[in-house]
Amino acid sequence: MSRTARKARKRAFGRINQERSGRYTAWYNDPDGRTKISASGTVTPVRHRANHTFETTLDAEAWLAAERRLISTSTWTSPAQRRKEELAADLNHSPTFGEYASAWIDSRKNKSGKSLAPRTRDHYHQLLADYLEPTFGYLLLDEITPAQVNIWYDAFTPLRKNLNGVTGETTKAHAYSLARAVLNSATSAHGPLVGRVNPFAVRGGGTSPARKRTQVATSAQFKVMLMTIRPEWELILLLGCWAGLRYSEIAELRRRDINLVAEVIQVSRSVTRSKVEGVGVKSPKSEAGIRDQIIPPNVLPALKKHMRAFVTGQDGLLFPGKNGGHLAPVTFYGKVPPKPAETPEQAAKQRARNGWYAARSAAGCPTLRFHDLRATGATLLAQQGGTVADVQLFLGDSTAQAALRYVRSAEGRQKLLADKLAALDGSVW
């Protein structure tokens, strides 16, 4: 008996070997009696082997029986030839849009060669499920036509619209851009539709009207928010406005990140949340996001007070959530109280539950986003003479263009400038 395989079992047709792994191989001689000559001149029959091994002898015997039936019906070709034809068919097969797009999202790399951020993948999969799969998901890639794309584009209806000014045009542009990028890959040199024309060819389909947000918090509104939100979360608002920190950066701040001697906050991590991967910690959005942020003098006393009252241990989070984990955005946002408190006691109890939504509602700015506190700080910095480079450093943005988005003029500033301009009327200028 061989060390690598047991002796082949003799059969009327074909042979079955048990390999050292315990699995079985099967083969048979060429039905037309073809032979081959080895280098030594030995003549042996051409053997045809199964393209895979078998778990049991019964499986191997079934394969031999099927092969014998093929030979008897004159439809037989060698197992190797059939395998080549199967592989060729797989290469020529056009997958469905849904199959290809889902795999594209999961394997996509960004410009730096890294996998997409979890939230970006979540966003793409959501666009695919909500807007693209219902129309194109079941279609083979080569079945999608420009006419179908145009009909889908013209009839596009967002699932969420008319909410805080949302029209759905941005969602429409995002969904179209995703589909076009997927088909760009499919029609590229290494795609299944190499050389084909991308059917997503709507002129301007990936653009949407810029919806500029001009809302920033006023001094009075900010004071109301500080007096309304939970005491342990006051510092979150201060860091968002006066230090320009993102919520994801604030949520990961720990005692060891605070240098009270140098009066800086060492920003090097942020919290990420994904439907698939859950809660994790990663580096900021860009290299510029890793920075030593100066603690403004008006924030320093509140920071020291907060650390004494709410932070434990060098690795302790500044703003721990339930069970000591990261503070979830949904917890921080909270809910707007159904009715105002009528007594000081009720107000105290209510404040102990108040989050961001309650604070902004009390301040009379119910659509203000927490991210707009960064814009408020950046705008105030610019109004005090800060350059674009200053604002860029303040926000931890990688490009000047990104920083410029936050350099906005508040309405009060425009009124002051208008009054100064009017004062020039009748004078020499």
Tokens found for residue 170: 């941005």
pLDDT of residue 400: 77
Buried b / exposed e over 191-202, threshold 16 CB at 10 Å, is: bbbeebebbbee
Q: How many residues does the chain have?
A: 429
- Which pLDDT tens digit goes with each residue over 32-50? 888 887 767 788 888 898 8
As a whole number, mean pLDDT of residues 365-374 equals: 92
pTM: 0.63
pLDDT of residue 423: 73
With beta carbons less than 8 A apart as the criterion, state whether 115 and 277 touch: no
Q: Does the structure show a pLDDT above 90 at 242?
A: yes
- Smallest Cα–Cα separation from 101: which of 1, 17, 186, 201? 186
pLDDT of residue 164: 53
With beta carbons less than 8 A apart as the criterion, state whether 353 and 362 touch: no
- Which pLDDT tens digit goes with each residue over 337-351? 888 878 888 888 889
16: pLDDT confidence band, cut at 50, 70 and 90? very high
With beta carbons less than 8 A apart as the criterion, state whether 284 and 396 touch: yes
With beta carbons less than 8 A apart as the criterion, state whether 196 and 142 touch: yes
324: pLDDT confidence band, cut at 50, 70 and 90? confident
- Which pLDDT tens digit goes with each residue over 192-216? 888 889 999 999 988 876 555 557 8
Q: Does the structure show a pLDDT above 90 at 233?
A: yes
pLDDT of residue 354: 94
Q: Does the structure show a pLDDT above 70 at 383?
A: yes
Q: How many CB atoms lie within 10 A of CB 252?
A: 22
Q: Does the structure show a pLDDT above 60 at 92?
A: no
Tokens found for residue 205: 């389909």
Tokens found for residue 229: 């939100």
As a whole number, mean pLDDT of residues 368-393 equals: 85
Mean confidence (pLDDT) of the chain: 84
pLDDT of residue 3: 43
407: pLDDT confidence band, cut at 50, 70 and 90? low
With beta carbons less than 8 A apart as the criterion, state whether 414 and 304 touch: no
- Which pLDDT tens digit goes with each residue over 120-150? 888 999 999 999 999 998 888 988 999 999 9
379: pLDDT confidence band, cut at 50, 70 and 90? confident
pLDDT top residue among 87 and 106: 106
pLDDT top residue among 163 and 183: 183
Q: How far is CA 156 from CA 160, 161, 243, 263, in A?
A: 12, 12, 41, 52
